[in-house]
């Protein structure tokens, strides 16, 4: 458990990067320009647990533990992580590491980071769930941490991959910082999320340093020459948000950027014909539809019409909506074959998943019969919310689903908006049904179940993205038990049982797993990542 193996392809990639970094002049002099499909919402590594944010922070703020392209755990600022017993972990830190301002990295910085995370205000999706289980964090010496938890926490190393480490000194902490559950000592005045656009505040140990942050325009990173892993392959990395696929592809073809993520499926032949390289790989991101199952007094929503009660509380209605969707047609016609129909929330063989988990079959006749059985022989009206610039073909998928639902008598309209607007409205429970995606940072099923299906309980760190408010105590019990089971085989069996039970209840509607493409200019290659992150560290100059 303390030093999981690297995959062969990540070893090869790291070796190439190390070789390039050592070349005199060559790769080090080259700059890299990246066209992003979605922009990070903040430079603060602890503000928003969101894919674009998590990818950006890895360049500047490293975690104790990293992940390779296959989402296997690899050493980063921690060299080893060893369970002393069921509730105690010993973590040995990497020596001779400095922050980009020259300050030595020690256990004090880790303690400060753990303490600061729960203090971040107005987080749309908090990282606090990863530190709440910690009862105490001790530092017997500057390079050792002893973390104790109230209950067994086998996923502690996985959780640590999500937490970027801050400099305690640059953040204004006292010389001694002590972890206290419910309130730490020596914190000073932690920087606000809005402060991290300032390079003097955004101090990390990563391969790159923040040079410029212009929200909506670009993020410019410069190579960190004192990085413990060796100087990075690119002197400057400029990341430009280009949400629309057409302009993003045009920027690549025109030579304005060197790499783009998620080019439109229909543009891939044209990109290849122009001499660019396209690489793609199956991701951990599920595209799904969340369904409002709020049953509180005074239920009322403008996004469901034609009924005075919430029809989505009836399992038969949820099943009908699922069976009305032709996932194969969406994959083939909307996604151009670059996706995989989904039956559960994570693709096999990631941890906790089941081989050949059944995909809900397309059966519009049965869907109509289920609606009639539930008391809706004439259907009802519903609005399906969706972002139009966050996921691959997101609005087109929503339009296809709307047509399929309308065919069974559930007249469906679309409410599409940019990701920033959509997520703000989603978090306010504005939609009775919405299309979204979830990528499991941990690469295992408890992350997806906990985030999307477990009963919404922010205090316990459960169901924190369950805006549909589905609640099944048996699913919760199985998942929570898995999350504290040290034995891998027993934990995986619990997750499989929880997933089967949940999916049979139709808490939400899984559609497909994204297959993620990247396109690179001549002389560059990119290793596809299961987590869909675009990392300059994974770009290789040939």
For residue 486, the model assigns a pLDDT of: 83
Secondary structure of 510-524 in the HEC alphabet?
Answer: EEEEEEEEEEECCCE
Give the model's confidence band at 181: pLDDT under 50 very low, under 70 low, under 90 confident, else very high: confident
If asked whether residues 406 and 475 sit together in one domain, one would say yes
For residue 298, the model assigns a pLDDT of: 60
Lowest mean pLDDT among 22-36, 278-292, 398-412: 22-36
318 phi/psi in degrees, rounded to 5? -65, -40
The whole-angstrom separation of Cα 281 and Cα 515 is 5
If asked whether residues 525 and 493 sit together in one domain, one would say no
The whole-angstrom separation of Cα 502 and Cα 343 is 11
Res. 2: pLDDT tops 90: no
For residue 297, the model assigns a pLDDT of: 60
65 touches 59 (CB < 8 A): no
Reference 448, options 456, 436, 440; nearest CA is 440
For residue 299, the model assigns a pLDDT of: 67
Helix (H) or strand (E) holding 438: strand 433-439
Give the tens place of pLDDT for each residue, 411-426.
999 999 998 899 989 8
If asked whether residues 178 and 292 sit together in one domain, one would say no
For residue 129, the model assigns a pLDDT of: 85
Give the tens place of pLDDT for each residue, 333-371.
999 888 999 999 999 988 899 999 999 999 999 999 999
If asked whether residues 508 and 527 sit together in one domain, one would say no
Whether the bond into 494 is cis, omega within 30 of 0: no
Burial of residue 322, with CB atoms counted within 10 A of its CB: 0-12 exposed, 13-18 middle, 19 or more buried: buried
Is residue 350 included in any domain, yes or no? yes
Res. 6: pLDDT tops 60: no
The whole-angstrom separation of Cα 410 and Cα 405 is 5
Is residue 306 included in any domain, yes or no? yes
Q: Measure Cα distances from 372 to 303, 308, 319, 383, 455 in Å.
A: 21, 17, 12, 20, 29
Is residue 204 included in any domain, yes or no? yes
For residue 441, the model assigns a pLDDT of: 75
If asked whether residues 308 and 457 sit together in one domain, one would say yes
Q: Measure Cα distances from 331 to 249, 334, 373 in Å.
A: 22, 6, 30
Query: What domain range is 394 assigned to?
Result: 284-515
Is residue 276 included in any domain, yes or no? no
Tell me the mean pLDDT in the region 430-454. 90
17 touches 534 (CB < 8 A): no
In 3-state terms, what secondary structure has residue 166? coil
For residue 3, the model assigns a pLDDT of: 35
DSSP state of 205: S
For residue 439, the model assigns a pLDDT of: 86
Tell me the mean pLDDT in the region 107-125. 94
Is residue 250 included in any domain, yes or no? no
Lowest mean pLDDT among 138-152, 165-179, 288-302, 354-368: 288-302
For residue 429, the model assigns a pLDDT of: 86
- First-to-last C-alpha distance (Å) of the chain: 35
Is residue 296 included in any domain, yes or no? yes
Helix (H) or strand (E) holding 241: strand 236-241
- What distance lies between CA 512 and its chain's CA centroid? 16
Lowest mean pLDDT among 122-136, 197-211, 216-230: 122-136
If asked whether residues 437 and 536 sit together in one domain, one would say no
Res. 493: pLDDT tops 50: yes
For residue 182, the model assigns a pLDDT of: 81
Res. 465: pLDDT tops 60: yes
Give the model's confidence band at 488: pLDDT under 50 very low, under 70 low, under 90 confident, else very high: confident
Res. 506: pLDDT tops 90: yes
Task: Report the predicted TM-score, pTM, of the whole model to 2 decimal places.
Answer: 0.75
Burial of residue 298, with CB atoms counted within 10 A of its CB: 0-12 exposed, 13-18 middle, 19 or more buried: exposed
120 touches 193 (CB < 8 A): yes
β-pairing, 73-75 with 78-85?
Answer: unpaired
Res. 140: pLDDT tops 90: yes
Number of folded domains in the chain?
2
454 phi/psi in degrees, rounded to 5? -65, 155
If asked whether residues 458 and 347 sit together in one domain, one would say yes
Bridge partners (DSSP) of residue 73 are 67
Per the prediction, the chain carries an average pLDDT of: 90
Res. 533: pLDDT tops 90: yes
If asked whether residues 468 and 535 sit together in one domain, one would say no
Name the percent of the chain lying above pLDDT 70: 94
For residue 509, the model assigns a pLDDT of: 98
Reference 527, options 70, 102, 126, 15; nearest CA is 70
Q: For the domain that residue 323 is a member of, what is the CATH number?
A: 3.10.105.10
Res. 7: pLDDT tops 50: no
68 touches 7 (CB < 8 A): yes
Reference 539, options 8, 21, 73; nearest CA is 21
If asked whether residues 289 and 337 sit together in one domain, one would say yes
If asked whether residues 511 and 525 sit together in one domain, one would say no
CA-atom Rg of the chain in angstroms: 23
For residue 462, the model assigns a pLDDT of: 84
339 touches 514 (CB < 8 A): yes
If asked whether residues 33 and 180 sit together in one domain, one would say yes
If asked whether residues 72 and 108 sit together in one domain, one would say yes
Tell me the mean pLDDT in the region 240-257. 95
Q: How many CB atoms lie within 10 A of CB 302?
A: 8
Is residue 277 included in any domain, yes or no? no
Is residue 271 included in any domain, yes or no? no
Q: For the domain that residue 189 is a member of, what is the CATH number?
A: 3.40.190.10
DSSP state string for 51-82? HHHHHHHHHHS--SEEE-TT--EEESSEEEEE
Lowest mean pLDDT among 13-22, 145-154, 494-503: 13-22
The whole-angstrom separation of Cα 53 and Cα 305 is 37
């Amino acid at each position: 458990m303390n030093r999981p193996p690297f995959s062969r392809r990540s070893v090869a990639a790291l070796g190439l990067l190390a070789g390039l970094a050592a070349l005199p002049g060559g790769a080090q002099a080259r700059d890299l320009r990246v066209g992003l499909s979605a922009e990070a919402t903040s430079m603060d590594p602890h503000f928003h647990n969101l894919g674009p944010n998590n990818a950006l922070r890895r360049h500047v703020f490293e975690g104790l533990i990293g992940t390779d392209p296959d989402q296997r755990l690899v050493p980063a600022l921690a060299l080893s992580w060893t369970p002393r017993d069921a509730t105690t972990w010993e973590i040995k830190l990497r020596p001779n590491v400095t922050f980009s301002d020259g300050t030595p990295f020690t256990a004090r910085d880790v303690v400060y980071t753990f303490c600061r995370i729960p203090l971040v205000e107005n987080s749309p999706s908090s990282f606090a769930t990863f530190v709440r289980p910690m009862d105490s964090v001790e530092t017997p010496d500057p390079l050792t941490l002893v973390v104790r938890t109230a209950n067994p926490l086998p996923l502690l190393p996985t959780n640590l991959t999500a937490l970027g480490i801050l400099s305690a000194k640059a953040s204004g902490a006292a010389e001694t910082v002590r972890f206290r559950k419910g309130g730490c000592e020596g914190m000073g005045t932690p920087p606000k999320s809005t402060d991290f656009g300032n390079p003097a505040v955004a101090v990390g140990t990563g391969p790159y340093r923040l040079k410029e942050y212009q929200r909506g325009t670009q993020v410019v990173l410069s190579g960190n020459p004192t990085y413990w892993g060796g100087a990075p392959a690119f002197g400057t990395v400029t990341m430009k948000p280009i949400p629309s696929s057409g302009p993003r592809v045009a920027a690549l073809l025109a030579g304005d950027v060197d790499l783009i993520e998620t080019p439109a499926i229909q543009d891939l032949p044209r990109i290849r014909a122009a001499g660019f390289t396209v690489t793609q790989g199956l991701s951990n991101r599920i595209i799904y539809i969340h369904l409002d199952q709020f049953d509180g007094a005074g239920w009322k929503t403008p996004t469901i019409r034609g009924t005075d009660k919430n029809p989505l509380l009836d399992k038969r209605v949820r099943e009908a909506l699922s069976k009305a969707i032709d996932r194969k047609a969406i994959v083939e016609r909307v996604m151009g074959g670059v996706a995989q129909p989904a039956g559960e929330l994570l693709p096999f063989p990631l941890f906790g998943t089941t081989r050949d988990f059944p995909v809900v079959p397309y059966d519009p006749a049965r869907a109509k019969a289920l609606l009639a059985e539930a008391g809706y022989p004439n259907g009802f009206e519903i609005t399906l919310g969706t972002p139009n610039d966050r996921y691959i073909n997101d609005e087109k998928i929503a339009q296809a689903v709307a047509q399929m639902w309308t065919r069974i008598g559930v007249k469906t309209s679309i409410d599409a908006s940019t990701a920033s607007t959509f997520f703000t409205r989603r978090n306010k429970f504005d939609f009775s049904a919405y299309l979204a995606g979830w990528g499991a940072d941990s690469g295992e099923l408890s992350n997806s179940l906990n985030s999307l299906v477990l009963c919404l309980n922010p205090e316990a760190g459960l169901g924190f993205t369950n805006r549909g408010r589905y609640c099944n105590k048996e699913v919760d019990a199985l998942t929570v038990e898995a999350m504290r089971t040290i034995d891998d085989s027993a934990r995986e069996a619990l997750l499989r049982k929880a997933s089967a039970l949940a999916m049979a209840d139709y808490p939400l509607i899984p559609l497909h797993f994204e297959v993620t493409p990247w396109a690179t200019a001549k002389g560059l290659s990119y290793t596809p990542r299961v987590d869909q992150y675009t990392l300059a560290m994974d770009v290789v100059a040939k």
